[in-house]
Amino acid sequence: MIADKMRPLVENNSAIRAMFEEGKKMAAEYGRENVYDFSLGNPNVPAPPAVNQAILDIIREEETTYVHGYMSNAGFEDARAAVAQSLNRRFGTHFHLENILMTVGAAGGMNVILKTILDPGDEVLVFAPYFMEYGSYVRNYEGVLVVVPPDTDTFQPDLKEFEKRITPKTKAVIINTPNNPAGVVYSAETLRRIAAILLEKEETLGTQILLISDEPYRELAYDGVEVPYVTPFYHNTVVCYSYSKSLSLPGERIGYLVIPQEVEDSRKVIAAAAIATRVLGCVNAPSLMQRVIVRCVDEQVNLEAYNRNRELLYSSLREYGFDCIKPEGAFYLFVKAPVDDKEFCQACKKHRVLLVPGTSFACPGYVRIAYCVSYEQIERALPAFQKIAEEYGLTEKRGKVQ
Ligand code: PLP
């Protein structure tokens, strides 16, 4: 019965599911506290208290037929205005509510913008390592994913390889900074160089190329590192944002798209994106969460909790001899595997440590450790990481880490 196009997705999904099920089985056998699951990017820091308070206040104070009712496909006007004003305050931009479209998280936003712009055969460039769902999102609209290979010295985008892959069929480029899984942040200089390449290609090819900045981790940046706002760098930029991580609300499915007026044909793009939201079946972003955003637009989770995890895990793994760069943002550590990454993940499972192979992010030879877990889980897992390092002789080779 199921479509041929769905078959590979189902097979791939069962591999991920098998890992999840294995984690549950291991927890039943050894006790939850003895299984060190670093596989999922599910925030463990609670939503700010103001978010829960806002939910209670909204139900008490606002007209419930309004709160629970249908609305414009782009979302409540006051929610869109609150987002625009917050961005303008923080980044010196000049957005109006018309430039904001409320979405069903970043996944919803990415699908809406890709549906809005892609014709069959259009190419979308991504920089490896990348969030694996991009491939499915692009294929949803019969686009073709083109992967720029990773620069594993820095995990910054390899711009020479990028330039080579831009063709007359290139319709969009996806960037993700702070990055899942590498934890790197793109500097203003990197964004300037990406913009210069795109402008030059638009000119010589006579095409329009949309830069899609997928930024669910924008607020998760450490040591005061700047995460430059992308729209001022390049006219054809759309931002896809999510509150899944910044407010720890992944299950509530709330985010937004920014479509600035500088985007070619912006009015048509904005109108088409609202229709895409409807015809994809989202209809609109969850209404209660939009009401929450009106009240909590500048709230943030406790970043220090993630920072503590980052410092402990990074310094400990480094001490044991693991090779990785220090993440500047998001909540992942991307570590060099001493052997094939899938084999390494299997070996780690024997120590009840669950990781994701870099192959899942188009970057074999590395593994991702999600440190959005409790500090205590990291403390409990450290002896296992140390044993693994010893098993692979990493401890003797220590000192290679940047
Ligand atoms: N983009 C990236 C890079 C992500 O890591 C994730 C989730 O982990 C998403 C998009 C999807 O986020 P959301 O829960 O807002 O749909």
Concatenating the DSSP letter of every residue in 238-267 gives EEEEEHHHHSS-GGG--EEEE--TTSTTHH
Ligand 1 atom index nearest CA of 254: 15
What's residue 83's pLDDT? 98
24 — pLDDT class (breaks 50, 70, 90) = confident
Q: Name the CATH architecture for the domain at 4-47+302-397.
A: Alpha-Beta Complex (3.90)
Å from CA of 135 to ligand 1 middle: 13
226 — pLDDT class (breaks 50, 70, 90) = very high
The yes-or-no verdict on residue 316 having pLDDT over 50 is: yes
User: Per-residue b/e over 334-372, b at no fewer than 16 CB within 10 Å?
Assistant: bbbbbeebeebbebbbebbbbbbbbbbbbbbbbbbbbbb
Probe target for ligand 1 pocket from 39, 240, 244, 368, with the most ligand atoms within 8 Å of CB: 244
Poorest-pLDDT segment among 7-16, 152-161, 378-387: 7-16
Average the pLDDT over 196-202 and give the result. 98
**Could you report the per-residue pLDDT of 101-138, keeping only the tens digit for each?**
999 999 999 999 999 999 999 999 999 999 999 999 99
Does any ligand 1 atom lie closer than 6 A to the CB of residue 179?
no
Average the pLDDT over 56-79 and give the result. 97
Does any ligand 1 atom lie closer than 6 A to the CB of residue 177?
no
The yes-or-no verdict on residue 400 having pLDDT over 50 is: no
Residue 52 DSSP label: H
What's residue 298's pLDDT? 94
Does any ligand 1 atom lie closer than 6 A to the CB of residue 357?
no
**Number of neighbouring beta carbons within 10 Å of residue 198:** 24
Cis peptide before 49 (omega within 30 of 0): no
What's residue 20's pLDDT? 74
Does any ligand 1 atom lie closer than 6 A to the CB of residue 255?
yes
Å from CA of 200 to ligand 1 middle: 30
Q: Do domains 4-47+302-397 and 49-296 have the same CATH topology?
A: no
Query: Ligand 1 atom 8: the closest Cα is on which residue?
Result: 41
The yes-or-no verdict on residue 217 having pLDDT over 80 is: yes
Strand partners, 332: 370
Ligand 1 atom index nearest CA of 243: 15
**Could you report the per-residue pLDDT of 324-353, keeping only the tens digit for each?**
999 999 999 999 999 999 999 999 999 999
Mean pLDDT of the chain: 95
Ligand 1 atom index nearest CA of 131: 3
Q: Is 146 helix (H, G, I), strand (E, B) or coil?
A: strand
Structural element, H or E, at residue 124: strand 123-127
Ligand 1 atom index nearest CA of 108: 16
Average the pLDDT over 142-152 and give the result. 98
Average the pLDDT over 45-63 and give the result. 97
Q: Token match 């985007």: residue?
A: 263
**Could you report the per-residue pLDDT of 41-50, keeping only the tens digit for each?**
899 999 999 9
Domain 49-296 has CATH 3.10.450.750: no
Angle value at C-alpha 285, between 280 and 287, nearest 5 degrees: 140
Q: What is the 3-state secondary structure (H, E, C) of 151-192?
A: CCCCCCCCHHHHHHCCCCCEEEEEECCCCCCCCCCCCHHHHH
User: Per-residue b/e over 217-242, b at no fewer than 16 CB within 10 Å?
Assistant: bbbbbbeeeebbbbbbbbbbbbbbbb
Angle value at C-alpha 376, between 359 and 45, nearest 5 degrees: 75
Does any ligand 1 atom lie closer than 6 A to the CB of residue 131?
yes
The yes-or-no verdict on residue 2 having pLDDT over 50 is: yes
Average the pLDDT over 280-288 and give the result. 98
Å from CA of 245 to ligand 1 middle: 8
Å from CA of 216 to ligand 1 middle: 6
Does any ligand 1 atom lie closer than 6 A to the CB of residue 105?
yes
Query: Ligand 1 atom 5: the closest Cα is on which residue?
Result: 180
At position 187, the amino acid (one-letter code) is S
Does any ligand 1 atom lie closer than 6 A to the CB of residue 103?
no
Which residues touch 161 (CB under 8 Å, ≥6 apart)? 148, 149
402 — pLDDT class (breaks 50, 70, 90) = very low
Q: Where are the domains positioned within the chain?
A: 4-47+302-397, 49-296
Ligand 1 atom index nearest CA of 109: 16
Å from CA of 197 to ligand 1 middle: 27
What's residue 401's pLDDT? 45
Structure tokens at 351: 């120590």
Question: Could you give the maximum distance between any two Cα atoms of the chain, in Å?
Answer: 66
What's residue 301's pLDDT? 96
The yes-or-no verdict on residue 182 having pLDDT over 90 is: yes
**H helix and E strand count, the chain:** 14, 12
Å from CA of 276 to ligand 1 middle: 19
Average the pLDDT over 163-183 and give the result. 98
Query: Ligand 1 atom 2: the closest Cα is on which residue?
Result: 131
Residue 221 DSSP label: B
CA nearest to 266, candidates 100, 143, 61, 385? 100
CA nearest to 184, candidates 204, 158, 207, 209? 158
Does any ligand 1 atom lie closer than 6 A to the CB of residue 252?
no
What's residue 15's pLDDT? 65
Probe target for ligand 1 pocket from 16, 113, 131, with the most ligand atoms within 8 Å of CB: 131
Query: Ligand 1 atom 12: the closest Cα is on which residue?
Result: 106
What's residue 11's pLDDT? 84
Å from CA of 186 to ligand 1 middle: 18
